[in-house]
Chains A and B, each alone.
Chain A
C-alpha cells in the first residue's frame, strides 16, 4: 500500500514538474528580474548598470500623462462596455429560445478570440478620412474628425472588449432561478421592480467578473491607443513600448511596468472589497 502511494506521488510530481518549471522560469523569474532592474541605473550607452537606487521611481512623474490617460479610459471604458453589454446579456439569457441561444452566444464570444490587431485596424478604416467622415461630408456635414480623438479610442475599447463583458453577465443571469421572478410578480411586483430587486442584485457577480476582466486588460492596452489615438492619447502600454523598444531605457521602463502592476493590484483589490459577493464563474468567463 505504501509502495502504491509512493508511486502515485511520483506520478503526480512528474506530471506537475513541467508546469512548475514553466511558472518558475517564465513567470516568477522574469518578474523578479524586472523588479531588480527597476532599482538599477541606466548606463550612458543604454544598457543596465547594477545598483540600488530609487531614481527610476522618482522619475515616474515624467510619465504622469500616460498613467492619467490609462486610469481615465480604463474605468470609463469598462463602465461603457458594462452599460452596452448588460441588455444584450439579459436578452440572451432571458428572452432567447433555447434553439438560438448557443448560436447567438458563440457569435458574441468569437470576436474576442480573433485578432484584436485586425479588429482595431478595421476602425482606422471606418473612422479615418475616407470612412464615416466622407459619408458625413456627402450629406453636407463637413470637416468631422473622428480618428485620433478620445471618441475613437473609446469606440475601439468598447468594440474590443464588449464580448468579454457579455459572457460572465450572461452566465449569472442564465443561472437565475426563474421562480423568484414568478414569486415576485405573484406578490404584485411590477416587472421593473422585480428587475431591480431580484435580477439586478443576482447578476452582480457576473457584472463584477466582467468589469474586472475588462479593466485589467485595458490597463495593459497598447494597440487601441496606438492605432486610434494617433500618438495624442497614449496609455502606459504605449510608454512601455517606447521605453523598451525605442529609447531602450530598461531600468526606467521596468519601474513603469512595476508601477503599472502595483496600480492594478491596488485598484482591483479596492474594487473587490467594494463589490459584494465572490466572483463566481471566473473560469467560464474566460471562454
Chain B
C-alpha cells in the first residue's frame, strides 16, 4: 500500500510539470502565469510567427536527415560487426561506447572548434581551385554540421539497438533459407531484414526525437541557424510568454507520439 502510494507520487512528480505546461498553453490570458480561460489563441500566435515556423522547419530537416543517415549507417555497421572479431571489434565497441557516453556539450565544443579550423584551412584552397570570376563555395557551420554531430550519437544508438536484436534473432530461419538454396541477398531481404525491422524503426524514431529535442549540440554548431529548441531557449531567456508554452506542448506532443511508438516496438522484443 505504501509502495503504491509512493509510486503514484513519483508518477505525479514526473507528469504534473508536463501537465502544467500543457494546461497553460491553452490559457487565454495575456500573461503566462495567470490562468484566465481556455483558448487556442497562443497556438495561433505561435504558428503565425515566421521565426517559429522557420526554426520548426530547420529542426524537422535536421532530425529527419540525422534519423535517415543513422538508421542506414548504423544498421550497416551492426550487420558488419557480426563478422568482425579481435582488436578491431574492441576498437569499434569502444568508439560506440565513447560516442554515447561523452557529454553532448563536449561533442558540441569539439565539433565547433574542429569544423571551424578545417573550414579555415579548406576555404582558401577551394578559392584557388575555382575558376576565376565564379564565386567559390564557402564552407561554414550550418544545418550539415548539426546533422553530422547529431548523427554521431544517434548512429551509435542504432548500432546498439540493432545488435541487440541480431543477438536475439532466430538463426534457424536463416539456416533453413540457406538450405533451400536462397541467395544470400534473398535470405537477407526475406528473412533477416523483416526480423531486424522493429529495431531499425525504433532506432529511427529515437534518433529523430533525440535530434529534434537536442539543444546543446545545436547551440554550438548551428552557426547562424536557429532550431526550435534554440528559439525556445532564447525566448525563455527574454521572459516567459504563453507562446513558449504552446510551442513546448507541440514539441512534447511530437516526441511523445514517436516515443510511445518506439517503446512498443522495442518492448515487443522482450515478450517473445
- Mark A residues whose CB is within 8 Å of B: 8, 11-13, 15-16, 18-19, 22-23, 25-27, 29-31, 33-34, 37, 48, 84, 87-88, 90-92, 95, 102, 105-111, 113-119, 121-126, 128, 130-131, 159, 162-163, 216-217, 219-220, 222-223, 227, 237, 240-241, 244-245, 250, 253-254, 257, 260-261, 264, 283-284, 286-287
B39 on interface, CB distance cutoff 8 Å = no
B236 CB contacts on chain A under 8 angstroms? 121, 124, 227
**B77 x A124 contact (CB < 8 A):** no
A11 CB contacts on chain B under 8 angstroms? 80
A34 CB contacts on chain B under 8 angstroms? 109-110, 113-114
B141 on interface, CB distance cutoff 8 Å = no
A-B contacts besides A87-B7, A91-B3, A125-B32, 12 pairs, CB < 8 Å:
A15-B76, A18-B72, A19-B155, A25-B148, A26-B149, A29-B114, A90-B3, A113-B213, A114-B259, A122-B17, A125-B17, A260-B106
The binding surface of chain A is classed by DSSP as helix
B148 CB contacts on chain A under 8 angstroms? 22, 25-26
The proximity string for B residues 20-38 relative to A, scoring 1 for CB distances below 8 Å and 0 otherwise, is 1100100000001110000
The docked-state distance in angstroms from the alpha carbon of A115 to that of B236 is 14
Q: Tell me which of A108, A114, A241 has the highest count of chain B C-beta atoms within 10 A of its own C-beta.
A: A114
**B267 x A16 contact (CB < 8 A):** no
The docked-state distance in angstroms from the alpha carbon of A254 to that of B220 is 14
The binding surface of chain B is classed by DSSP as helix
Q: Tell me which of A12, A19, A119, A130 has the highest count of chain B C-beta atoms within 10 A of its own C-beta.
A: A19
Q: Tell me which of B100, B102, B114, B219 has the highest count of chain A C-beta atoms within 10 A of its own C-beta.
A: B114
A283 CB contacts on chain B under 8 angstroms? 160, 163-164
The docked-state distance in angstroms from the alpha carbon of A121 to that of B229 is 11
**B106 x A19 contact (CB < 8 A):** no
Q: Which single residue of chain A is at the shortest CB-CB distance from B106?
A: A257
Known A125-B32, A254-B113: A245·B220 in contact at CB below 8 Å: yes
**A117 x B215 contact (CB < 8 A):** yes
Known A91-B7, A95-B3: A125·B84 in contact at CB below 8 Å: no
Q: Which of B34, B110, B164 contacts A257 (CB 8 A)?
A: B110
The docked-state distance in angstroms from the alpha carbon of A128 to that of B31 is 14
Q: Which of A16, A107, A128, A286 contacts B80 (CB 8 A)?
A: A16
**A124 x B240 contact (CB < 8 A):** yes
The proximity string for B residues 81-118 relative to A, scoring 1 for CB distances below 8 Å and 0 otherwise, is 10110000000100100111111111101111111010
A107 CB contacts on chain B under 8 angstroms? 11, 14-15
Known A110-B256, A117-B215: A240·B79 in contact at CB below 8 Å: no
The docked-state distance in angstroms from the alpha carbon of A92 to that of B11 is 12
The docked-state distance in angstroms from the alpha carbon of A251 to that of B6 is 49
B74 on interface, CB distance cutoff 8 Å = yes
**A27 x B263 contact (CB < 8 A):** no
The docked-state distance in angstroms from the alpha carbon of A16 to that of B159 is 11
B201 on interface, CB distance cutoff 8 Å = no
The docked-state distance in angstroms from the alpha carbon of A229 to that of B114 is 31
B206 on interface, CB distance cutoff 8 Å = yes
**B20 x A122 contact (CB < 8 A):** yes
Q: Which single residue of chain B is at the shortest CB-CB distance from A125?
A: B20
The docked-state distance in angstroms from the alpha carbon of A27 to that of B240 is 36
Known A29-B114, A91-B3, A122-B17: A106·B260 in contact at CB below 8 Å: yes
Q: Sort chain B's interface into a size bin.
A: 35 or more
The docked-state distance in angstroms from the alpha carbon of A85 to that of B103 is 22
Q: Which of A109, A163, A240, A286 contacts B100 (CB 8 A)?
A: A286
B13 on interface, CB distance cutoff 8 Å = yes
B213 CB contacts on chain A under 8 angstroms? 113-117
B21 CB contacts on chain A under 8 angstroms? 118, 121-122, 125
**B256 x A114 contact (CB < 8 A):** yes
B161 CB contacts on chain A under 8 angstroms? 287
**B81 x A244 contact (CB < 8 A):** no
B115 CB contacts on chain A under 8 angstroms? 30
The proximity string for B residues 149-171 relative to A, scoring 1 for CB distances below 8 Å and 0 otherwise, is 10110010101110110000000
B272 CB contacts on chain A under 8 angstroms? none
**B251 x A113 contact (CB < 8 A):** no
B267 CB contacts on chain A under 8 angstroms? 102, 105-106
**A88 x B99 contact (CB < 8 A):** no
**B220 x A87 contact (CB < 8 A):** no
**B24 x A125 contact (CB < 8 A):** yes
Smallest beta-carbon distance A51→chain B, Å: 15
A33 CB contacts on chain B under 8 angstroms? 110, 113-114, 117
**B255 x A162 contact (CB < 8 A):** no
Q: Which of B14, B74, B252, B264 contacts A19 (CB 8 A)?
A: B74
